[in-house]
Amino acid sequence: MRAHAVLVCLWLAACGSSIGNTNGDDGVDSGSGSGSNRDCDPTMAMACNGNAVVSCNSDGTFGAQIMSCGTGQQCDQGACHNACTADGVDLVYVVDEANDFMSFDPRKLPGDPFHKIGTLNCPHNGTSIQTGNTQAIPFSMSVDRDGVAWVLYNTGELFKVSLQTAACTKANNSIGASSMFLFGMGFALDAPMMDSEKLYLAGGNKDPSTSPRKLGYDDTHGGSLTPSVVGNIAGAADFSPELTGTAEAKLYGFFPKGTGPYVQEINKANGAAVGQTWPVGSSLSNVRDWAFAQWGGVFYVFITTNNNGTLKSQVHAVDRMTSVHTIAWDNSMYQVDGAGVSTCAPAVLQ
């Protein structure tokens, strides 16, 4: 998430009041058999039918069973994984400028999906390194499979936060290691049939509007917190992207762009753009804060704008299968600086 950034263009096009609206201005009519009428995504070779891995036919119906996930495993996005047992690890989590640490449960939409867990009191050094912003506040975050939130402040410091209590401890990273000072974050699995993961980092500059924007990763599970940089991110945007990963071992970025913000998959090995784009409205106006996470096959983008001193916060939703864009939550009271979701969260809803 980028705090206190400013883009001057047009306002985001609103397409509806909830993710269930399939008649939004930015929606794509996929024809018969699309969307909720399909058992599975035909662009994926395999899917989950209960706790069994099955093939997915070209018409979106379940095909033959490939395997049944064993004891202690769960099927997610066409693969068997060790069951995620940490409490609350299947939800989205967010943090705002006031250090409010909250869960975000998309299943509660169109009702209020936010639940405050606590107020962060992370022992940061108080000195922002972000260009143009002197206030020390959260900058980005993600969540690992063990139920730990990783929060980056604009001081360049990483912290580990409890999902249950919001208790905060230093991760003891070295600020600016590998020239990665400030960055968006997202965990992604190493491979679909594995449970190992890495924390991917996007950006690196103290000023997120500058380039090149690098892609790197930290090994947070017993490895080094010195980022390994794999390449430059190949995406057209006004600022470096925010990241989210899925149980299928894919990494996605939200690219803030005044003439057309969008989501696109990022190649974890080199930062290259992969496949289609998912538009998030038509344009951005005076953006102050933004954050990004996926849940259940939907990309959620948290955006706050500042128009002549008037703040407006919304949650935008883009259905990954249909590309339909809606306003999932309007006039939120939270200026969300960071959002994170673990790879235990559902990548599709069966």
With 90 as the cut, is the pLDDT of residue 174 above it?
A: yes
For residues 344 and 85, what is the distance between their CA atoms, to the nearest angstrom? 9
Domain boundaries, the chain: 35-82, 92-341
- Burial of 185: CB neighbours in 10 Å, binned 0-12, 13-18, 19+: buried
DSSP assignment of 229-294? EEEE-----SSPPEEEE-TTS-EEEEE--TT--EEEEE-TTT--EEEEEEE-SS---SEEEEEEEE
* Pair 280, 264: CB distance under 8 Å: no
pTM: 0.79
> How much is the pLDDT for 38?
86
* Pair 163, 147: CB distance under 8 Å: yes
**Which residue would you say has higher pLDDT here, 230 or 70?**
230
Give the mean pLDDT of 285-298.
89
In eight-state DSSP terms, residue 34 is -
> How much is the pLDDT for 215?
98
In eight-state DSSP terms, residue 212 is P
Give the mean pLDDT of 79-97.
84
Structure tokens at 29: 């009519």
> How much is the pLDDT for 10?
35
Cα distances from 327 to residues 227, 295, 310, in angstroms, run 35, 15, 19
Length of the chain: 350
> How much is the pLDDT for 83?
63
For residues 192 and 348, what is the distance between their CA atoms, to the nearest angstrom? 14
**Which residue would you say has higher pLDDT here, 54 or 224?**
54
* Pair 246, 188: CB distance under 8 Å: yes
> How much is the pLDDT for 16?
32
DSSP assignment of 117-175? EEE------S---STT--S--EEEEEE-TTSEEEEEETTS-EEEEETTT--EEE--PPT
pLDDT tens-digit map of 140-165: 999 999 899 999 999 999 999 999 99
39-53, 71-85, 119-133, 205-219: segment of lowest average pLDDT = 71-85
Pick the CATH number of 92-341 from 2.120.10.100, 3.40.1280.10, 3.40.50.720, 3.20.20.190: 2.120.10.100
For residues 252 and 294, what is the distance between their CA atoms, to the nearest angstrom? 9
pLDDT band at 72 (very low <50, low <70, confident <90, very high): low
> How much is the pLDDT for 207?
94
Structure tokens at 241: 């992207």
* Pair 350, 340: CB distance under 8 Å: no
pLDDT band at 281 (very low <50, low <70, confident <90, very high): confident
Structure tokens at 188: 């992604």
Candidates 316, 216, 319; CA nearest to 271 is: 216
* Pair 198, 188: CB distance under 8 Å: yes
With 60 as the cut, is the pLDDT of residue 267 above it?
A: yes
pLDDT band at 13 (very low <50, low <70, confident <90, very high): very low
> How much is the pLDDT for 193?
67
Strands 92-96 and 79-82: unpaired
With 50 as the cut, is the pLDDT of residue 192 above it?
A: yes
Mean pLDDT of the chain: 86
* Pair 117, 161: CB distance under 8 Å: no
- Give phi and psi for 36, each to the nearest 5: -70, -10
pLDDT tens-digit map of 224-262: 789 999 999 988 888 889 999 988 899 999 998 888 899
